[in-house]
Structure 1
Amino acid sequence: MSRKHEWKTNGGKTEAEKPNASQLQQEIEQLAYTLFCQCGYEHGHDLEHWAEAERRVHERHRGKGTKGE
């Protein structure tokens, strides 16, 4: 029963399925670089790209399966 409760409180993910800080950091870095590339390698927008990458990665990992419940 405690396993079922754990599933509900973690947005459907067990501790083993949750990304750790290092994995999140790597995802953010990769996405920020992708955004830089998509903007034509134009310098001077690094903070914008980083903030957008953080927002997207955290949104993706934040219990998005809880919408509509």
Structure 2
Amino acid sequence: MSKTWYPVIDYEKCTECGICFDHCKHGVYSKRESRIIVVEGENCVHGCRGCQSKCPSGAISYVGDDGTTKGGCCCSCC
């Protein structure tokens, strides 16, 4: 797991569909009322873009993303 790679949700783009919450098997997200929030960013697998690739509104980016990590889910949780 990573302290240098974790998702950030752009709430202006987020449609609160919950796909990221349903997709992530590492407990990174939580639901608070209808809003999805990042609660355990350190549980995110470094380099995994599974949630970002599933997000229909493009609302997820990653702290630590230097543009060199490509692809979708790399942690076999999909």
- Mark yes or no: TM-score above 0.5: no
User: Greater Rg, structure 1 or structure 2?
Assistant: 1
Structure with greater helix share of residues: 1
Give TM-score, length-normalised by structure 1. 0.25
Structure with greater strand share of residues: 2
Give TM-score, length-normalised by structure 2. 0.24
